[in-house]
A and B are shown apart, each in its own frame.
Chain A
């Protein structure tokens, strides 16, 4: 009797593991497909063989194609890979840490902090000390934006880390994050209120999110920081699993909760901070992808969820960027619009199908 009941459940578990493995391979394939499409498609029609030739370093007749593939599309596709996986992982960590399905990379106020930094450069430049101070450092153009956004996110992160050492309750942390976001948002609004329309437009463009403009050194820095954040995240897979059951339970399992929490917050800050600094606040990927991953892989194990979220995030972002470029059209859509328009219905579908999302968090 005992034997007969054990055997099928082991078989079931094996089948589930096998299914997850298949899904991960499928996701990997999707990422590869998205990557190829993102480089192959664009407003300027370049035949696929020519794209491959250019990527292989062979000469073509059209120098403009070289520039487009090597200087525009390839960096953008790489950025999409990095951004997608980074945001998805940081979202997954936030949802588990706060045991809240609505949490995302912006939950700690990091995105808002970065936005404040950017506003300081764009809206104050030329008039108030802020812009001048950054220019006086000799940081020009896009680096000034990155530096400002990183500083903003870093300041908020420090505040959050200090508070998290004192506050035991994750719900309180979540509220602190939301309030920090509120305050920084209000400061940005105030700034906009007193700014000229063209400055506001520039800031607005930044808030739309964009993968373009991350090239050369930018891409190197972004990849390094996001890589470090991802390593930290993967290292915290076990603590994340334990945290799912609640902090007290995790503590009873021998987890040093405070240290794990600091590690997770640090990892998320690196991921969300760097990505927002370089690409602007890209919404939705961080909230949606963890849900999609859980729905797809049907597991709460972060050792599976983390790589799954990485792949799915990258595939989704690549797909959204393909759509944002609208092949055949000369215009480009803001990435944030595409991620939300495409992502929200999918998440709704997953959530409605599963009904009791709460079971993932307790």
Chain B
């Protein structure tokens, strides 16, 4: 852990070195004690300067030109000079409004789900503690994505609003909140190209909560487990062929080589036909005809949309019965942990526990490697 704390690891783009020589703050605050560093994620950088932290979210779509910078200051300290364009977030944040299930997962991973005071939609929440808070009326529903209920947010005045970054997204859209001094943080974790990179966004949350020690401990455990599992498949005798996803009429979207799903499949010891094909959007829109030959002969079929049984697959399109995995019953979907509201925990806790997801995949594809593992997110369709 001490090694990790040494600072930015080579290999990820560091923002222009903050030249501000740690000016003595107006109120003498203790310098930040514990630190963490980013190893896998490419969407943000974190640096420690004096008693504050600089968090930079890199726009994955326009490279660094639209990077958004945040100054994370201990509560009550004066704003340092420089970083004129940066938003200030006072630490630790005590109340958070999160718009995606990923944000729930980030808070829950650090045992801080009680800071959630608002959500985009109640429908997509799995964490029992958050559901409990919703029932108790402690959480507001502030509207999804593009239609934030600004009045509700201004009245509530949370310490931070976390939004999901989309292509072309920019902060000016949140002018009203900025005018009300509510910081808005763009989180684009979903563009990460590896499962560990995606999960590492918990470090953003940890920096906001001053929980670096905890995140180092917990995330490093996830990394160790993930890498041990990935290593176990490296020399498997057979790498089964998998086909992923569910077509809609003519179009079959499959993950491209740079997606975290493709990395999962590599680490799980599979033969994935589109392992070398790249697309700007992270997924390939292929014609049904292109994927069909693979699906006909594949060993496994994963992620079959919203289906929960083979009968539901047949109801979608009777042609799917011709696929070899369907005939041999090797169809697995990632919706075992779907609650009554229709929210799938795979997209929530699964996002920050890639070790568990990988264990599931290995259990499915190489059952002999994990004889005692019980599937957590996946289920076999009967």
Contact = CB atoms under 8 A, between A and B. Distances in A.
Interface string A202-244: 1001100011110110000000000000000000000000000
Interface of B: 121, 123-124, 144-145, 147, 248-251, 284-290, 292-293, 296-297, 306, 311-312, 314-319, 322, 342
Contact of A64 (B144, B296, B316): B296
A78 to B, nearest CB: 15
A205 B249 CA distance: 9
A64 B318 contact: no
A122 to B, nearest CB: 10
A8 interface: no
Contacts, number: 93
Interface string A5-46: 000000000000000000000000000000000000011100
B317 A141 contact: yes
Contacts of B306: 126
Given A67-B296, A193-B147, A332-B251, A140 B315 contact: yes
A204 to B, nearest CB: 11
A215 B287 contact: no
B144 A196 contact: yes
A44 B287 CA distance: 10
A215 B317 contact: yes
A63 B296 contact: yes
Contact of A126 (B249, B316, B317, B342): B342
A330 B342 contact: no
B316 A330 contact: no
A325 interface: yes
A350 interface: no
A267 B286 CA distance: 36
Interface string A319-332: 00000110000111
A249 interface: no
Nearest to A42: B289
A149 to B, nearest CB: 13
B311 A215 contact: no
A142 B317 contact: yes
Nearest to B286: A330
Contacts of B147: 193
A72 B291 CA distance: 12
B149 to A, nearest CB: 12
Contacts of B314: 140-141
B322 A71 contact: yes
A331 B286 contact: yes
Contacts of B297: 64
14 contacts: A42-B289, A64-B296, A67-B292, A67-B319, A68-B292, A72-B288, A126-B306, A126-B342, A140-B311, A193-B147, A196-B124, A211-B250, A212-B251, A216-B318
B293 A44 contact: yes
A199 to B, nearest CB: 11
Contacts of A44: 289-290, 293
A58 interface: no
Nearest to A210: B249
Which are the 9 A-B pairs with shortest beta-carbon distances?
A140-B315, A212-B250, A141-B315, A332-B287, A64-B293, A213-B249, A141-B316, A210-B249, A212-B249
A142 B320 CA distance: 13
Given A213-B249, A332-B251, A43 B287 contact: yes
Contacts of A197: 145
Contacts of B124: 196
Contacts of B315: 140-143
B69 to A, nearest CB: 27
Contact of B287 (A63, A216, A330): A330
Given A72-B289, A330-B290, A215 B318 contact: yes
Nearest to A197: B145
Given A140-B312, A142-B315, A193-B147, A213 B250 contact: yes
Given A67-B292, A141-B317, 9 more contacts: A64-B296, A68-B289, A72-B288, A197-B145, A202-B248, A211-B250, A213-B250, A215-B317, A332-B286
A331 B292 contact: no
Contacts of A324: 250
A43 B251 contact: no
A127 interface: yes
Nearest to A331: B285
B179 to A, nearest CB: 25
Contact of A332 (B145, B250, B296, B318): B250
A330 B284 contact: yes
